[in-house]
Structure 1
Amino acid sequence: MKASDLIAKIEAYAPRELAWEADPIGLQLGDPGQEIHTVMTALDVRPEVVQEAIEKHVDFIFSHHPLIFKPARDLDLSSPQNKMYADLLKHQIVVYSAHTNLDATKGGMNDWLAETLQIHATKPLLPNDDGVTGIGRIGQLDTALTVEEYAQFIKEKFGVVAVRVIANDLQRSIKTIAVLGGDGGREYPVALAAGADAFVTADLYYHTAHDVLADDFVVIDPDHHMEAVAKAKMVNLIQEWNRAMQWQLDKVFASTINTDPYTYVF
């Protein structure tokens, strides 16, 4: 099969028009007409991820976060970022990224996060015109928990050493939960207005956290890397397509590299 065959299925599942206007989604690097045999999914495409792909003879990387957020100013290979591009080209590895379109689509990132967080009967937090797709999700826990209990549950589910909790009362009971993958601090007023008892998102800004407390709301921040749950889900999608389309890909697997840039010292 060709890379373009897989790209067509990804774009049918997570249509490009769902992406935010300035989001650099799509084919990042490589030849879409190239034949592919081994696919690796990744949250981020970093030099260590590319080295893993080279060692495992990958010829297509499907990532959530775009490879190229900022255009290269030169091709100086002493730059680790440029060297990474050169390595990808040298080893003929195609890179395709689905970011905010995968966030917004039905059955995409925010549904995977809601499933992990055991939020049920969900609907988009910021719906598109169709009412089905959109950024974020809001729904219900089966049983009300305290903020502290749910924060501990989230910590264990995402396998992180700590979560940041912004709340006036850790013993408050919560049941209606909103989630937005990635940096969702600016959307906390939307979650509050939608009737959420708590909002799970990442990268909350210091002064925004003060606003959350002033509004007597609850935000739980388990780190942007919580989106790594998508790696296995993306593998499942490609394996389903491989069977249905009889593509006969040799191997589909998730990157084993932890690309979380943060280290916590206790």
Structure 2
Amino acid sequence: MLANELIQRFEQFAPLKLKWDRDPSGLQIGDRQQEIHKVLVTLDVRPEVVDEAIKVGADMIFAHHPVMFRPANNLDYQEPQKAMYAKIAAHHILVYAAHTNLDSTDNGMNDWLAAALQLKHVTGLVPGYHADAVKMTVIVPTDQVEAVQEYLTNTAKAKLDRYAFNSGEQFSVDILQDQVTKAVAGINQFVSADRWDYQLQPLVSGGHQYSMGRIGDLAQPMTVSAFAEQCKSTFKIGGLRLISQHPDDLIQRVAILGGDGGKFYPTALAQGAQVYVTGDVYYHTAHDMLAAGLSVVDPGHHIESICIPKLTALFKQWQAENNWQLAVVASNVNTDPFTFI
């Protein structure tokens, strides 16, 4: 199969429009029209990961963190990172990265992390891309109304507007603007284009808000210290940094943002978080967090390695659904640069 088949399917799940400014998510190295047979899923693209890809025969690496986050000013092969680029090219390995779009999409990175902590009543934390909605009024033969409604609500994420004028052949749905093209193409598969029509009307409210990070509630209150210990167990780490003036206080409302999310702590506070879980907290930011009365658990950046089993399972599901001739392999290389001693 072509790499572009996997890329297009993934970008339906986590569109690039969800990525944050200056984030180089997407194709990193290679040609998306390249034929691929095996994809290696990893958190980071490091020299040892490239060696693993070569060893297992992978011709594509799918990573969360971009390998080319900062532009190279030369290709001096005496530098290990740049020698790695040469090795990738020499072995015709395509590299693709899904960073902040995977962080922000529904059922993506931060939902996986929130689920790992067993949070309830989960909502978004830091607003990002907002998908606008439109009202789609459909006129279709009476004998096709039920099928079209079922398609729009189940496949195109539409919601039937029961307050609009509906007749035997006409009904309205609220649908995301970016789903309209898909909806029209889908309906055309089972109703000929000359037998149905539609009109669109912009909606001033509604739509869908994508967000970075999540906030929710623990099933039962626990102390800050106990929650920190739970994080160590959940994320299988040997240690973490706890920032708290009151580690024995009971807490229940928890915010989490995978990666480096220290600068968003005011947003967590504003939404009522008692504890904020994020990595790479800066020394002076930690002082500000303490002054604001927020407890913070810093389990490191590497907890995002949860993406490896999650993406591997997702790709295998798509492989089965689409009968792709593609093997999917989870990386076994630990790219965490830190060891707790």
- Does the TM-score normalized on the shorter chain lie above 0.5? yes
1:255 alignment counterpart: 331
1:73 deviates by: 1.5
1:187 deviates by: 0.5
Moved more, 52-61 or 71-80: 71-80
Distance 2:315 2:219 in 1: 31
2:33 alignment counterpart: 33
The Cα offsets for residues 177-203 of structure 1, whole Å up to 9 and x where unpaired, read as: 100011111101100110111110001
Moved more, 65-74 or 48-57: 65-74
1:78 alignment counterpart: 78
1:212 alignment counterpart: 289
Q: Tell me the amino acid that sits aligned with residue 292 of structure 2.
A: D
Distance 1:53 1:261 in 2: 20
Say if 2:262 is the partner of 1:181.
Answer: no
Distance 2:52 2:116 in 1: 27
Say if 2:6 is the partner of 1:6.
Answer: yes
Q: Secondary structure at the match of 2:239?
A: coil
Distance 1:67 1:214 in 2: 36
Distance 1:161 1:109 in 2: 22
1:142 deviates by: 0.8
Q: Tell me the amino acid that sits aligned with residue 45 of structure 2.
A: V
2:106 alignment counterpart: 106
**Identity across the alignment (%):** 49
Counterpart of 2:221 (choices 144, 163, 175) is 144
Q: Tell me the amino acid that sits aligned with residue 159 of structure 1.
A: K
Gaps of 5+ in 1: none
1:132 deviates by: 4.0
1:75 deviates by: 2.0
Say if 2:276 is the partner of 1:199.
Answer: yes
Q: Secondary structure at the match of 1:138?
A: strand
Distance 2:295 2:61 in 1: 37
The Cα offsets for residues 84-136 of structure 1, whole Å up to 9 and x where unpaired, read as: 11111111111000000000000111001101111122111012434442100
2:146 alignment counterpart: none
Gaps of 5+ in 2: 132-207
1:248 deviates by: 2.4
Moved more, 67-76 or 90-99: 67-76
The Cα offsets for residues 54-74 of structure 1, whole Å up to 9 and x where unpaired, read as: 000001111000010111222
1:76 deviates by: 1.9
Q: Secondary structure at the match of 1:133?
A: strand
Q: Given that residues 123 and 132 in structure 1 are in contact (C-alpha distance below 8 angstroms), is that contact kept between their aligned partners in structure 2?
A: no
1:242 alignment counterpart: 319
Q: Given that residues 106 and 132 in structure 1 are in contact (C-alpha distance below 8 angstroms), is that contact kept between their aligned partners in structure 2?
A: no
Aligned residues: 264
Q: Given that residues 184 and 203 in structure 1 are in contact (C-alpha distance below 8 angstroms), is that contact kept between their aligned partners in structure 2?
A: yes
Q: Secondary structure at the match of 1:180?
A: strand
Q: Tell me the amino acid that sits aligned with residue 21 of structure 2.
A: E
Counterpart of 2:248 (choices 164, 171, 177) is 171
TM-score, length-normalised on structure 2?
Answer: 0.76
Distance 1:116 1:216 in 2: 25
1:236 deviates by: 1.1
Distance 1:94 1:132 in 2: 32
1:133 alignment counterpart: 210
Q: Tell me the amino acid that sits aligned with residue 76 of structure 1.
A: D
Distance 2:294 2:70 in 1: 35
Moved more, 159-168 or 71-80: 71-80
2:192 alignment counterpart: none
Distance 1:120 1:208 in 2: 28
Mapping of 1:5-24 within 5 angstroms? 5-24=5-24
Runs of 4+ in 1 over 3 A off after TM superposition: none
Distance 1:126 1:207 in 2: 21
1:263 deviates by: 2.3
